[in-house]
């Protein structure tokens, strides 16, 4: 394969070839992060129950990879969209 085909920039939605400098495509950056609010802990909660719940959550996390855990907290991505796909996406991004 030639280098140009290997390095082709494609629309992430429809797969159309995007040509840098043509001015008819968009770069969309998405950043998502988990609720930054500290968890609510009842002041009258039984300390033993609270400790047991924390231990249960830690045990649950032991069965997940570091990548999976990190992606539950923060994720950033860059999308390249052709003009047609961008127009549809921007009107209904949750779509």
User: pLDDT digits over 49-67, tens only?
Assistant: 888 988 998 999 999 999 9
Residue 39 lies in a domain: no
Residue 14 lies in a domain: yes
Residue 51 lies in a domain: yes
How far, CA to CA in Å, does 54 sit from each of 4, 45, 66? 52, 13, 18
Number of domains in the chain: 1
Task: Catalogue the E-assigned strands of 1-95.
Answer: 9-10, 17-18, 25-33, 74-82
Residue of 67, 66, 85 whose CA lies nearest to 28: 85
Domain that holds residue 26: 3-30+45-91
Residue 37 lies in a domain: no
Is residue 89 within 8 A of residue 19, CB to CB? The reply is no
Residue 38 lies in a domain: no
Token representation of residue 13: 């939605």
Residue 74 lies in a domain: yes
Is residue 10 within 8 A of residue 17, CB to CB? The reply is yes
Residue 64 lies in a domain: yes
Q: Is the pTM of this model over 0.85?
A: no
pLDDT at 1: 46
> What are the tens digits of pLDDT across the range 3-47?
555 678 999 999 999 999 999 999 999 999 999 998 887 888 888
Residue 35 lies in a domain: no
């Amino acid at each position: 394969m030639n280098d140009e085909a290997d390095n082709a920039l494609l629309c992430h939605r429809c797969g159309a070839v995007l040509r840098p400098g043509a001015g008819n495509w968009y770069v969309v950056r998405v950043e998502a992060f988990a609720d930054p609010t500290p968890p609510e802990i009842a002041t009258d909660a039984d300390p033993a129950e609270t400790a047991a719940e924390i231990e249960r959550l830690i045990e649950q996390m032991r069965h997940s990879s570091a990548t999976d855990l990190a992606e539950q907290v923060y994720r950033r991505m860059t999308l390249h969209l052709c003009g047609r796909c961008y127009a549809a996406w921007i009107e209904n991004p949750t779509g």
